[in-house]
Structures are given as structure tokens and as C-alpha cells.
Amino acid sequence: MLADLIEQHRPWQDTWELEEFLTWCQARVRPGGTIVEIGTHRGGLTRCLRDALAPATLVSVDVDPLEPSDGWHQVIGRSQDANVAAQVQSLVGDGRPVDLLFIDGGHSYPEAIEDHRVYAALVRSGGIVALHDIGAHPGDSPIGCHVSIVWNELERAERCVTWRAPGGPGIGAYLMPDMPC
């Protein structure tokens, strides 16, 4: 049961939003796939992704280390840095092998837009690109939560799905369109 997983691993997520999102992903991400998360924090979502979607390769990036990383590859550093992106690429392999990208790291506009630019480029055609905190957070602006601005730009460009509980932070996702050969 996804609700049990979420209760057990305590991700920094709204329970309803995450349950709905993971259910949607289970129908689209093949077991044995490749997942990249930006923003590990305490590994709550990382463990939910590991257990709900059974990826063969799970990479999570954060500026702060988490010990131990439990069944995933941990990359430490600013996700926007070229050496960090290179470590992620070497772990997932060449080309666009990623089935699911979950962006939940730095929440300022420059960080979130750069995370999307760098890591969405690793997602295969038909793969999932998801962002957390897509809802406007009026009280959060002073601390720089501007993911909603990034999300609004993406919504104009892509066919998006959103999950937002009343007053919740919101998860948004889109399926990567076909790539030119």
C-alpha cells in the first residue's frame, strides 16, 4: 500500500499528492527503470520511489550527505554544478536513459529552472519530468520558493498533469515528448 510506504518513510510531501502521483507513475515507469531525484533531504521520497517503483538505478542529489544511502546512488553537491551533473550522467549512462526525474532541490527560480534544463535533458521520450512545490506559496517568497513560476512556464509549453491538495504544495508532471533522432 502506497499510504503505508509514505507513512513509513515520511517524505517531505503531502500524503494525498504523493500517493496519487506514485499511482500515476506506477502505470508508466517500468520496474528496473532509472530514476533521478534532485533534493534528497532525509531520503523519505527516495525510499518511496525505491519501494513503489523498484528502479534498477536510483540516483539522488543533495548538497548535504545522507548516511547511509540505502539502495540508491548518492551524489553530493549543488545540482546545478557541471561536475555534479556529470556524476549523475555517468551513473545513469549515456544518452537519455532516465524514466523519471523528480526535481525538489533548490527552490529559487534560477536553481529550479537550471535543474530542469540540465536534468530533463536526460529523460527519455515518454519519460516523466516532475516538480514539487508547483503551487504559489505567497508566504514563501522571502525564502525564495519560486518553483511555481518555473512550473507556469512549463505548463505553457508541455501537456501537464498536476496534483494539488487544498493548501498543499503541489506536484506537477509532464511526459517528455518524442525527441528528434
Ligand X SMILES: C[S@@+](CC[C@H](N)C(=O)[O-])C[C@H]1O[C@@H](n2cnc3c(N)ncnc32)[C@H](O)[C@@H]1O
The answer to whether 17 contacts ligand X (rule: CB under 6 A) is: no
User: Binding segment for ligand X among 41-49, 50-58, 142-150, 152-160 (CB under 6 A)?
Assistant: 41-49
**Does 148 help bind ligand X (rule: CB under 6 A)?**
no
Residue 144 is given by DSSP the state T
Cell of 83: 561536475
74 binds ligand X (CB under 6 A): no
Query: Nearer to ligand X by C-beta: 39 or 172?
Result: 39
Binding mask 76-95 for ligand X (x = CB under 6 A): --xxx---------------
Cβ closer to ligand X: 39 or 135? 39
Q: How many CB atoms lie within 10 A of CB 165?
A: 15
Task: Provide the pairing of β-strand 171-175 with 160-163.
Answer: antiparallel
Q: Look at strands 123-132 and 34-38 and give their pairing.
A: unpaired
- Taking CB under 6 A as the binding criterion, the range among 101-109, 135-143, 147-155, 171-179 that sits at the site for ligand X is 101-109
Nearer to ligand X, 62 or 99 (CB): 62
Cell of 111: 536553481
CB atoms within 10 A of CB 96: 16
What does the chain come to in residues?
181
Roughly how many angstroms between the first and final C-alpha of the chain, as a whole number?
Answer: 39
Verify binding: residue 41, ligand X, rule CB under 6 A: yes
| Tally of CA atoms within 13 A in the half-sphere of 81 that contains its CB | 10
Question: Of 34 and 40, which CB lies nearer to ligand X in the complex structure?
Answer: 40
Which residues from 107-146 bind ligand X, rule CB under 6 A?
A: 111
List interacting residues with ligand X (CB under 6 A): 11-13, 39-41, 44-45, 61-64, 78-80, 104-106, 111
